[in-house]
Structure 1
């Protein structure tokens, strides 16, 4: 079995770069001339493949480093790409987000083409949206401003003008924000542009649009950019919008030195204008393109990979108009995927917090655990449950790490200390001294809340200092100047250091991330798929969103839902349709040919204690795993009645086990030791 690590070889010889790759990744690295389309499943090492492709191209002299432009969608992904290229000994390659690359070029050419400094970049649309609404006589509140801002962004990234909006929205079945009609939104889009122009602002979409227009209408500018950048790499190509594709076309100028990487099964941002169409039709656009598929999953265990494949496979072609990639797990087997049902949201949150606590006690770092959910509003219950359990957490999508006051203040102090730091004192020791004066302590505060969040943030800086010191060679130890430079580079890329706490995040915010243990909460109809998903396309995207959530887990994966929202509420929720046939009760029913829950209910009725029932459930989970591995009906291994008897008697020896009906010598030879092990580790009711 081929294994891979995250370390990159600082290769002196080009062929050494290829040694770290599997056969398909090596094929990507050797495809130095475009057009190339890489279909890369989750966890298959796509970043490794494309960074090694760039490095190999530079090392063999096919590329000049400065002639390569690699674009992706998040600053974090771009920062990771730059770090990997640096570790491979390749500098000078531009790895940026679409917006960062476009803003840099627009700022360079604006004085020459337009004159003067570029207009001020608008960070948020809210104030201009509100003013535009006032001018056309439309009443708005904070929620309406947010929804209208999103609609303006959708129109701009899909290249829909105010004149075309009504027709385009109707043709695509797009609903206007609640309380407004398409005509009103069209008027607001037009007024938004007028107000923005009056205030001499550019929004983020303007940056791409104006640069693309500049390249298409000014030959000298286009020639200069195209002579600079001759080789293009686009990561996450399934998320490209029409506006981004328009800019990419201008960068290319009819050339085909392009390598795109993506996975249609991970298209989850169509509501923002992203579309997999460009990826799916790449071979039609470039008939001579080379297509390479990466399907070896190095991230997740076979159990996790199997569920991910099943979620898409059971949909047939319902996951989208494409053939989903079938992932092949490369890791050794791990624990089974677990499923649980709870009475209400509070109970679900408490159970997940307790399970996270057990994982932490067993050695899993809190930062390697994530709780993922469909909507941000779901985070509150998990924040409360984790706080009650004394477990630190980080809400992804909250305040950005480098925007936190305590982080900004700490960096100022470290920058000042770097000017006069004693070179004979180890850098981590200096960092601790400096941050101690700002309130940091070796041990976290006992209380949760803001005080603990501040400590977690500054502790992340201390941990980063330790990591840099450990990674530095003995003859060139890391200094405070090194740390400050690293922090400034990370701040520019919004690449935050790891905060030691359980991550709480929406499924959308989890894209591109991974953890050792993942809890997928709220797996019920109305949340997954979300109740707003009313069209087939929207439901397909929700299924892909679940697939993305599943593939975030490396080893431990638990899926759960609650029957009601509030304690004592009506148990009206149903499990998500996406797990039909995959939930253990469904599989047991299918294997036994009986109605779901009938045998289980009868066997459970024999048990009186909660611990006995917990042991019964543990035995059933083991039996299900054996059934999967041997492809036999579960009841042929041991019946529910036999498992219930084991849970009630709790045998402590082979002799005691042999006295239970349904367990003969053959069963004892095959399963006796395992059953006794499960009984021995189960909590006792005494």
Structure 2
């Protein structure tokens, strides 16, 4: 058999098992291509097969192919999948890993020295603390306060806000600053922070992207050399791209338009870190004419009732028809999404643990169970309560000191805090995770606690009066949607009427998202009967 015939057979095997829309997306090998991929719709499978098919068929050179993934773990998984399909040498990495690799090469070429190292998050916190103490004349800051300042410093950079524009933009957006600082105080901290980093000869993730964009703009010959290894670019999770990352992408492309982006506007939940679905939604306007624009709307993960409920969550949005896609499920309906009400927070936590034990006694493995919380503090509280009930627990929290998407060394959007208990055995441990850290993951049985106003949507008092049209509220809707769509077979929504035992504390109201979605599902079922 000739090598060309063998390659053709390999290419056809790669497409086997894809549904019609997935196969269509995988066979359009020149960009621009946009794939809107709903939860559980097989987006990673589709883009991996697309890359493998293009390389196996000879349309692409693997060594000139770049796939940008959300995490280093996802990049490693993509390389493994490609290798199993006989495709090697594709460059798969996060934005920051790819950028830092290029920055180090460029630094050696231009200066004959090594580039500054990217500082460890703990060191960055120390540098930020020193900058705050020097500028604000106070040294007694909590880790949380330093983290909030670091997040603000990153927010400035990822949104490409120069010092001269910062005060005006903050005022026009009504953007709240950490520690109730004035914009000019924040700028003083920013300058002092940069001084601290220079003194220690380190940079952060955002600096890496800014410096690389500068090099591409000012050293065209060097930029063209680097572009030889990025003739075919695929960007996963494009709904989470920040203005800074988008700037780097445009520098990578130059005049090239062989780009494929994939994402879901309904899963944009990192706006606090600069993520925006604007570039995904406006892809055709920026890169058009588009070679192919496809939607993957079959959720192969979740049961029919979970998918129906998730659709109902989005249907309550004022932008649903223009921004979000409606999912379908090929699976049986399964149990309905259940709302469990409790008298107090303590009763809710004990009740969740008791229900998990009930499922476990009937054959559900603990590793197949997750509790997804809105905050880190609540995750820790629930971990304590579940361990007291005799459950082995694996606690996952979104990164304390890093901007999500930013880990060069390899975070998957969360960190494991505390290994599973020794008694876990082959049955594993339940996962307790913030919703943000759970994005991209799935479990047969999911509990979502604290489904009340003030937590979902999470809000301070001044935010409670905002309408559903407010973007902060819309982001909260998407966070809840991501939580619901992590479930495979069954989802429990939980809410406590009062914070404390005996009806003490302010009485709570069930989350507007739960009320809207539950009412919509009930109306739909009445209409069918």
Give the structure with higher Rg (CA).
Answer: 1
Checking the alignment, whether the CA contact within 8 Å between 1:163 and 1:186 is kept in structure 2 is: no
Q: CA deviation at 1:127?
A: 1.2
Q: Deviations over 1:503-561 (max 9, x none)?
A: 11111111111111110110000001111383511000000110000000011111011
538-547 vs 564-573, greater mean Cα deviation: 564-573
> Are 1:268 and 2:259 counterparts?
no
User: Partner residue of 2:221?
Assistant: 220
Q: Which residue of 1 aligns with 2:408?
A: none
Partners of 2:85 and 2:454 in 1: CA distance = 47
Range 238-247 or range 364-373, more displaced = 364-373
Partner of 1:631: 528
Structure-1-length-normalised TM-score:
0.69
Say what the alpha-carbon RMSD is for the aligned residues: 2.3
Residue 484 of structure 2 is aligned to residue 575 of structure 1: no
Residues 581/219 of structure 1: CA separation in 2 closer, same or farther (3 Å cut): closer
Give the unaligned 5+ runs of structure 1: 1-9, 401-448, 464-498, 592-626, 633-686
Q: Which runs of 4+ in 1 moved over 3 A?
A: 449-456, 581-584
Judged with a 3 Å threshold, the aligned counterparts in structure 2 of structure 1 residues 581 and 214 are, in CA distance, closer, same or farther, namely closer
Deviates more, 1:552-561 or 1:186-195: 186-195
- Aligned with 1:322: secondary structure? helix
- Aligned counterparts of 1:210 and 1:87: Cα–Cα separation in 2: 36
Residues 182-234 of structure 1: CA deviation (Å, up to 9, x unaligned): 11101111221122112211111111111121122112211111112200000
**Do structure 1's residue 552 and structure 2's residue 480 form an aligned pair?**
no
Secondary structure of 2:421's partner? helix
Structure 2 residue 294 is matched with structure 1 residue 292: yes
For residue 307 of structure 1, the aligned residue among 286, 306, 309 is 309
Residue 336 of structure 1 deviates from its aligned partner by 1.7
1:461-520 alpha-carbon deviations (Å, 9 max, x no partner)? xx8xxxxxxxxxxxxxxxxxxxxxxxxxxxxxxxxxxx9211111111111111111101
Cα shift readout 1:238-262 (whole Å, capped 9, x = no counterpart): 0000111111111101210100001
Q: Are the structure 2 counterparts of residues 362 and 280 from structure 1 closer, same or farther at C-alpha, using a change threshold of 3 Å?
A: same
Task: Indicate if the aligned counterparts of 1:28 and 1:292 stay in contact, CA closer than 8 A.
Answer: yes
SS of 1:216's equivalent in the other structure is helix
Once the two structures are superposed, the pairs formed by residues 99-178 of structure 1 within 5 Å of their partners are: 99-124=96-121, 125-140=124-139, 141-142=141-142, 143-178=144-179
Residue 507 of structure 1 pairs with residue 442 of structure 2: no
Report the secondary structure of 1:53's partner residue: helix
TM-score, structure 2 as length reference: 0.89
**CA distance, structure 1, for counterparts of residue 506 and residue 207 of structure 2:** 49
For residue 92 of structure 1, the aligned residue among 71, 89, 94 is 89
Check conservation: 2:312, 2:521, Cα contact below 8 A. Answer: no
Of residues 518, 521, 532, the one that matches 2:449 is 521
Distance 1:450 1:101 in 2: 30
Q: Distance in 1 between matches of 2:374 and 2:249?
A: 32
> CA contact under 8 A between 2:393 and 2:431: conserved in structure 1?
yes
In the alignment, the residues of structure 1 paired with residue 212 and residue 18 of structure 2 have an alpha-carbon distance, to the nearest angstrom, of: 37
| Aligned match of 1:43 | 40
- What is the match of residue 356 of structure 2? 356
Residues 113 and 280 (structure 1 numbering): CA distance in 2 closer, same or farther, change over 3 Å?
A: same
- Give the number of the structure with larger relative contact order, counting CA–CA contacts within 8 Å between residues 6 or more apart: 2
C-alpha offsets along residues 150-187 of structure 1, whole Å, 9 cap, x if unaligned? 10011111111223221122222211113311111011
Equivalent pair of 1:162/1:190 in contact (CA under 8 Å): no
Counterpart secondary structure, 1:580: helix
Report the number of matched residues: 495
Moved more, 507-516 or 112-121: 112-121
SS at match of 1:371: strand
Per-residue displacement from partner, 1:606-651 (whole Å, max 9, x unpaired)? xxxxxxxxxxxxxxxxxxxxx928723xxxxxxxxxxxxxxxxxxx
Indicate if the aligned counterparts of 1:32 and 1:62 stay in contact, CA closer than 8 A. Answer: yes
Please give the residue correspondences for 1:362-511 in structure 2 after superposition, counting only pairs within 5 Å. 362-397=362-397, 453=421, 500-511=428-439
Work out the CA distance in 2 between the residues paired with 1:373 and 1:353.
14
Name 1:596's counterpart in structure 2: none
Contact 1:339 1:560 in 2 (8 A): yes
3-state SS, counterpart of residue 36 of structure 2: strand
How far apart, in 2, do the equivalents of 1:284 and 1:340 lie?
Answer: 45
Q: Offset of 1:389 from its aligned partner?
A: 2.2
Please state how far the C-alpha of 1:28 moved relative to its aligned partner.
0.8
Aligned CA distance change for structure 1 residues 580 and 36 (closer, same or farther; 3 Å): same
**Distance across 1 between alignment mates of 2:389 and 2:171:** 50
- Paired residues of 1:11 and 1:17 also in contact (CA < 8 A): no
